[in-house]
């Protein structure tokens, strides 16, 4: 394990998370497939193993502090460090038939519990293991829907797409990314936010325009950047997005 990087992807049993694990694995990185349902994580890891990828399953529910603690203990016991953390787990719970002002507080709270607080809790817990890496990388899955600039600009790609709780949670992810990147700017760890694109997944829906392999490219690129790469950036396929 000494010469092989270790990457953990949360919510990696399907969709963009699984494809991200696949692409990292093809780069000879050992991938840890995190999932709140261990059986699904094990099935995903087995699929990757059949493709010649070194993959391990990890039970990790970002909404459970106990689950996070056990996951950290397992990664430390098995590998002693973590080189890449991709905070991919996320939910979109907004009622599409309700306006911004009509979304329930329960929807807001559940969305933030996973997309923001779960992401922060996971990052904080794994940070000591990332500090043991020679070049730690943290990638926070955001969205173009988190761009306040675009939401405030008539005619922008997302101006009319007000999926309120989800959008604001991703704006919060962007803000957290900048704050943590500042703290770690003099370390070997880089923290960036990735917009994968409108990808054909369960969350992306029927109208999505991007295939899974392209949807994983931004996360993979930010997870494998060199020492001269960005820190505290908001990126889609190499292009910087407006906050």
40-98 pLDDT tens trace = 999 999 999 999 999 999 999 999 999 999 999 999 999 999 999 999 999 999 999 99
| Residue 99, domain member (yes or no) | yes
Banded pLDDT at 212 (limits 50, 70, 90): confident
89-101 pLDDT tens trace = 999 999 999 999 9
Backbone angles phi, psi at 175, to 5 degrees: -65, -40
Candidate list 26, 39, 159, 166, residue with the active-site label: 166
CATH number (domain holding residue 57): 3.40.50.720
**Domain count across the chain:** 1
Round to whole Å and give the CA distance between 22 and 56: 12
Is 166 part of the annotated catalytic residue set?
yes
Round to whole Å and give the CA distance between 10 and 33: 7
pLDDT at 201 over 70: no
| Tokens matching residue 48 | 């990757």
Banded pLDDT at 120 (limits 50, 70, 90): very high
| Residue 1, domain member (yes or no) | no
Domain extent, residue 177, equals 6-240
Least confident of 23-32, 154-163, 165-174, 196-205: 196-205
User: pTM here?
Assistant: 0.96
| Residue 116, domain member (yes or no) | yes
Candidate list 170, 190, 200, 217, residue with the active-site label: 170
Round to whole Å and give the CA distance between 162 and 122: 28
| Residue 48, domain member (yes or no) | yes
């Amino acid at each position: 394990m000494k010469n092989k990087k270790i990457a953990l992807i949360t919510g990696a049993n399907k969709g963009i998370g699984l494809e991200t694990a696949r692409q990292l694995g093809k780069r000879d990185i050992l991938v840890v497939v995190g999932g709140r349902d261990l059986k699904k994580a094990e099935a995903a890891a087995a699929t990757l193993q059949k493709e010649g990828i070194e993959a391990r399953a990890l039970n990790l529910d970002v909404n459970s502090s106990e689950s996070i603690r056990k996951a950290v203990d397992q990664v430390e016991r098995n590998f002693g460090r973590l080189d890449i953390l991709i905070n991919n787990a996320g939910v979109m719970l907004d009622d599409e038939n309700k306006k911004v002002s009509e979304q329930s507080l329960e929807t807001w709270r559940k969305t933030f519990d996973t997309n923001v607080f779960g992401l922060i809790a996971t990052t904080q817990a794994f940070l000591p293991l990332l500090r043991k890496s020679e070049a730690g990388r943290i990638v926070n899955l955001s969205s173009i829907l988190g761009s306040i600039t675009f939401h405030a600009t008539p005619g922008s790609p997302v101006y009319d797409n007000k999926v309120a709780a989800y959008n604001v949670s991703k704006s919060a992810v962007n803000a957290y990314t900048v704050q943590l990147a500042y703290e770690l700017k003099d370390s070997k760890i880089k923290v960036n936010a990735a917009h994968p694109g409108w990808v054909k997944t369960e969350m992306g829906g029927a109208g999505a325009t991007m295939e899974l392999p392209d949807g994983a490219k931004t996360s993979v690129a930010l997870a494998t950047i060199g020492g001269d790469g960005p820190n505290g950036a908001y990126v889609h396929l190499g292009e910087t997005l407006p906050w």
